[in-house]
Amino acid sequence: MLTRTSAFMKEANLIGGKWVAADSGDTLAVTNPATGAVLGTVPNAGQAEAARAIEAAATAFERFRKTTAAERAAMLRRMHDVMIENVDALAELLTLEQGKPLAEAKGEITVGANYILWFAEEGRRVYGDIVPSPWADRRILVRKEPVGVVGAITPWNFPSSMLARKIGPAIAAGCTAVIKPASQTPYSGLAWGVIAEMAGLPEGVMNIVTGSASQIGGEMTSNPAVKKITFTGSTDVGKILLRQCADTVKKVSMELGGNAPFLVFDSADVDKAVEGAVAAKYRNSGQTCVCTNRFYVQAGVYDEFAEKLARKSESLKVGPGTEEGTQQGPLIDMAAVEKVEELIADAVSKGGKVLTGGNRHELGQSFFQPTVIANATAEMRFSREEIFGPVSPIFRFETEEEAIALANDTEYGLACYFYTRDLGQAFRVMEGLDYGLVGVNEGVITTPEAPFGGHKESGLGSEGGREGILEYLDTKYVCIGGL
Ligand code: ADP
């Protein structure tokens, strides 16, 4: 078991290469959601510490921007190697503060390392252009340059890999960063500082500040030295940050909320659909922005799908993430449990039928039973609100057109999934769905090679893929005349 002396568990902030306490000496306690036990504390920092971190990043940027892409790629590759060599320690830390099963935590660390490696490679391919000139005596050059200091704010559900998708492209592009991890899971964020040190990243390139979200976020969004804000979290907070960024016209990337539909057509392989449904719903106990929020099942296979999903759901092993074989850890906190209970009560009061689950788990704390609710309707709150818990509401539909319309009837547009064996239907539905990520006969599709980003109020910009690094680069057109 990990101890406080573990190399990756830091109880201090990283500013300009120094591990420091909050100016006030105040701390925040970090708890293990599986037991309620306090794991340790982190600094409760605010505006002043954030301002110093930004200054350190701005100073470091002047030198870092002059490093070569190959040098930065080598640093990132070393960060990847440190993560892979220490996957067990990093995963254990993640599970202790976040709750997810160890196997999922190892998966998260590995995926994060893979994002870092992907951007190490992409950073060497940041090409400019020489464009044919309309003038005989002038030449047109187009360069890509790092935007500068980046502010990154991340959530608790993927406290490690959400940072990989931001730090990787930032460093590859030649930017420096100030990071604010979520207060529920700060250790996995602070661990990035240790990874950076072990990989030999220059001081000040990565700075990490924990504490008051509004103070740190307020400084990041108002300080003119910060050129870009990258955020993953709720749509409500994303909108606040967008407003705050307006005054200094910062670049922004926003990965916000979702309301993922999962469509099962009569033409589907129902067993495969159930398998995909379990993966798309119950990963991280339903606490991801791409987790299915609404199952829409065509009338011909409705009963079969509902029954099979209920049986699979109740067979999931619920327990502490550190226990071998656990498939469902606790929810992040009691507020999450109360929200899930409210949504279930609302559905039941409007005619929803609980096929399995529906209650807190006998393990206590924030453990909750995987739950399936049939006869879901548009009047129930979870048709509009993100559940962020292990609840599967199943709605019924009759026609393909109806299914597409229902799936799109939301202000969100992040992930969606559908199952069909009809090729024409696969294309029609894929083209009809207004979502940034579409899984056709697949329930888990995220990978560093592909762009990840939402339509509508689910976000702005993409992380990963060829697009991911462009978010950290400015375009400069240079006209060379008098030739
Ligand atoms: P979640 O529902 O996943 O907790 P939030 O959007 O509340 O999503 O939190 C995501 C991240 O945004 C966290 O690091 C949180 O501390 C931070 N955050 C919350 N409120 C603000 C704010 N007003 N300004 C800046 N960051 C914020």
> Tokens 């892409």 belong to which residue?
69
The verdict on residue 178 lying in a domain is yes
d(CA 242, CA 389): 27
Cβ-proximal residues to 5 (8 Å cutoff; 6+ apart), any chain: none
Same domain (yes/no): 411, 465: no
Ligand 1: residue whose CA is nearest its atom 13? 182
How long a stretch of residues is the chain? 483
The verdict on residue 446 lying in a domain is no
Compute, in angstroms, the gap from residue 407 CA to the centroid of ligand 1. 27
Q: What angle do CA 410, 416, 420 make, to 5 degrees?
A: 125
The verdict on residue 374 lying in a domain is yes
**Domains identified in the chain, total number:** 2
Compute, in angstroms, the gap from residue 121 CA to the centroid of ligand 1. 31
ipTM of the complex: 0.94
Same domain (yes/no): 105, 193: yes
Which ligand 1 atom is the nearest neighbour of the CA of 232? 10
**Segment 27-49, tens digit of pLDDT:** 999 999 999 999 999 999 999 99
Strands 473-480, 139-146: pairing is: antiparallel
Residues acting as catalytic residues: 255
The verdict on residue 27 lying in a domain is yes
**Segment 83-130, tens digit of pLDDT:** 999 999 999 999 999 999 999 999 999 999 999 999 999 999 999 999
Q: What angle do CA 15, 191, 119 make, to 5 degrees?
A: 90
CB 240 near ligand 1, within 6 Å: yes
Same domain (yes/no): 199, 265: no
Pocket test for ligand 1, best of 42, 153, 223, 385 (most atoms within 8 A of CB): 153
CATH number reported for the structural domain that contains residue 320 in this entry? 3.40.309.10
Same domain (yes/no): 351, 237: no
CB 217 near ligand 1, within 6 Å: yes
CA distances in angstroms from 103 to 107, 252, 477, listed in the order given:
6, 33, 47
d(CA 161, CA 72): 19
Ligand 1: residue whose CA is nearest its atom 18? 213
d(CA 417, CA 3): 41
The verdict on residue 1 lying in a domain is no
Same domain (yes/no): 419, 466: no
The verdict on residue 450 lying in a domain is no
The verdict on residue 451 lying in a domain is no
d(CA 175, CA 472): 7
Same domain (yes/no): 33, 103: yes
CB 238 near ligand 1, within 6 Å: no
Same domain (yes/no): 170, 80: yes
The verdict on residue 6 lying in a domain is no
DSSP string, 157-215: SSTTHHHHHHHHHHHHHT-EEEEE--TTSHHHHHHHHHHHHHTTPPTTSEEE--B-HHH
Which ligand 1 atom is the nearest neighbour of the CA of 238? 6
Compute, in angstroms, the gap from residue 233 CA to the centroid of ligand 1. 6
Same domain (yes/no): 335, 208: no
Same domain (yes/no): 318, 202: no
Quick one: which of 258, 239, 236 has its CA closest to 382?
258
Which ligand 1 atom is the nearest neighbour of the CA of 388? 2
CB 209 near ligand 1, within 6 Å: no
Same domain (yes/no): 189, 268: no
d(CA 321, CA 337): 17
Same domain (yes/no): 224, 320: no
CA distances in angstroms from 81 to 142, 246, 444, listed in the order given:
34, 38, 25
Contact 44, 211 (CB under 8 A): yes
CATH number reported for the structural domain that contains residue 112 in this entry? 3.40.605.10
**Segment 331-349, tens digit of pLDDT:** 999 999 999 999 999 999 9
CB 183 near ligand 1, within 6 Å: yes
Contact 429, 418 (CB under 8 A): yes
CB 189 near ligand 1, within 6 Å: no
The whole domain housing 90 covers 13-256+458-477
CB 237 near ligand 1, within 6 Å: yes
Same domain (yes/no): 223, 189: yes
pLDDT tens, position by position, for the chain (483 residues)? 555 558 999 999 999 999 999 999 999 999 999 999 999 999 999 999 999 999 999 999 999 999 999 999 999 999 999 999 999 999 999 999 999 999 999 999 999 999 999 999 999 999 999 999 999 999 999 999 999 999 999 999 999 999 999 999 999 999 999 999 999 999 999 999 999 999 999 999 999 999 999 999 999 999 999 999 999 999 999 999 999 999 999 999 999 999 999 999 999 999 999 999 999 999 999 999 999 999 999 999 999 999 999 999 999 999 999 999 999 999 999 999 999 999 999 999 999 999 999 999 999 999 999 999 999 999 999 999 999 999 999 999 999 999 999 999 999 999 999 999 999 999 999 999 999 999 999 999 999 999 999 999 999 999 999 999 999 999 999 999 999
